[in-house]
Amino acid sequence: MIYGMLITIVFSLLNLNSYCTLLFTFAWLLEGKFKSKWTILKRDKLFIAFALYFLIQFAGIAQSENLYSGWLGVEDKLGFLMLPMVFCSSPFLNITMRRKAMLVLSSAITLASIYCLVFAGIRYFDTGNTIYFFYHPLVSPLSHHAVYFSVYTFIVLVFLISEGHSLPWLAKNRFVHVGWLIFLLFFLFLLSSKMVLLMVVLFLFYLFFRFGSKKISRWQATAGGFFTILLIITIVSTNNPVERRFIDLKGNIELLKKEKYDAGVYFNGWQFRLLLWRMTYEIIRDKHAWLIGVGSPGAQAVLEEKYLNLGVYAGGRNADDYGYLKYNCHNQFLQTTLQSGIIGLLFLLSWCCMLFKKTLSRKEPVLSWSLIIIICFFFIESVCERQFGVVLCTLIPLMYIYTPKA
């Protein structure tokens, strides 16, 4: 079932991913031994933190005018309860099984990437437009999100560098190993996520400075330093969509002080996110929702109302154009505060802190870098509002945390 969850999340088969999670939980139920499992769960602070976070989301249904729509608002977050419950109480994983699962994820990411490149090539020959090789258009054949796909790909990259030597067939085929890493780096460049590209540079410098360590060989460290320099030179010296995305970081902060906007006003990434900070604060203040928020199901509705009141672009060019109306808080800490107030934020911080504590004790490179990029991701995206994010925050960290050390 773990393999199924990993494959379906990569290929954006979200309904099948939910079924895999349910089957995974059902298998746990068939095992029985509930008394011993409950004894373990009530002592596990990470499980308690996840469970409290889910329950505060579930409690938001009471604030919804429609019970069914309220339930749909938290259905995707069931993974925050089910996956920790299974992993925390059933230590069924070992290192070999975990590496096989990560190899499945690595293979799925690679096959999905090749599929996207082939599809982009077909579109390019039809239109002559290179846009299909970059960012969201690149992964659109999978109905995926470029930044989420980038984060998964980065984790795979860290795994293949840190643990690739432990896979016998890969250790014997160094050229395959190196070629695989180069392909993933190339695809991450095409995906054009600023956050992930900066994280790649940081990780490759980390490899370079770990030159003499036992876990990282000489060729890995040298390759890391080489590709770091090559990546930086490519971004800054060529006219490409990646360079333009970094140039787009420029902007005027005075724009955020206006009380009303024209629909034609353009916000770049950081301007829009800072505007969302202001909007979220004003919504919570005006609705006196500091303690328990406005509820998970109703959060998007109040954001849409705020967008309309500010006069920002609300779509209308075609039937599928909603402008900014469908944008969430683009920050998980803001999103949770809006939905569940300070109580929800504390529960979110509690499981983040517990993950951090357990990560420090494990000293696993894949787990450490996964947590680093997840927390960074929280500052630019409402990660837990998508199924891609729920799996990212639970399945991969839990596999590493609850695998017994050799």
Q: How far apart are CA 397 and CA 98, in angstroms?
A: 11
* Contact call for residues 21 and 82 (beta carbons, < 8 A): yes
Q: How confident is the model at residue 5 (pLDDT cuts 50, 70, 90)?
A: very high
Q: If you compute the radius of gyration of the chain from its CA atoms, what whole number of angstroms results?
A: 22
Q: 257 phi and psi, to 5 degrees?
A: -90, -10
Residue appearing with tokens 């829009």: 272
How do residues 177-202 score in pLDDT, each as one tens digit?
989 999 999 999 999 898 999 999 89
Alpha helices in 128-259 (DSSP H): 135-139, 146-163, 168-172, 174-191, 194-209, 218-237, 241-247
Q: Model's pTM, two decimal places?
A: 0.89
Residue appearing with tokens 């490149």: 117
How do residues 239-269 score in pLDDT, each as one tens digit?
556 555 555 555 667 777 788 888 778 787 7
Q: How far apart are CA 18 and CA 232, in angstroms?
A: 39
Residue type, 90: S
Q: How far apart are CA 371 and CA 365, in angstroms?
A: 10
* Contact call for residues 199 and 156 (beta carbons, < 8 A): no
How many Cα atoms are found within 13 Å in the side-chain-facing hemisphere of 46? 23
Q: 147 Cβ partners below 8 Å, 6+ apart?
A: 191, 193, 195, 196, 377, 380, 381
Predicted pLDDT at 381: 95
Between 194-209 and 174-191, two packed helices, what is the crossing angle to 10 degrees?
Answer: 150
Closest CA to 221 of 237, 203, 194: 203
Predicted pLDDT at 248: 53
Predicted pLDDT at 23: 93
pLDDT surpassing 70 at residue 77 = yes
Residue type, 387: Q
* Domain spans, the chain: 118-125+140-247
Closest CA to 185 of 211, 215, 220, 216: 220
Over residues 170-176, the mean pLDDT reads 84
How do residues 9-34 score in pLDDT, each as one tens digit?
999 999 999 999 999 999 999 988 88
Q: How far apart are CA 315 and CA 19, in angstroms?
A: 35
Q: How confident is the model at residue 216 (pLDDT cuts 50, 70, 90)?
A: low
Closest CA to 271 of 246, 251, 245: 251
* Contact call for residues 193 and 134 (beta carbons, < 8 A): no
Cα angle value 164/389/391 (rounded, 5°) = 60
Predicted pLDDT at 370: 97
| Tokens standing for residue 168 | 């016998």
Predicted pLDDT at 220: 57
Over residues 154-177, the mean pLDDT reads 88
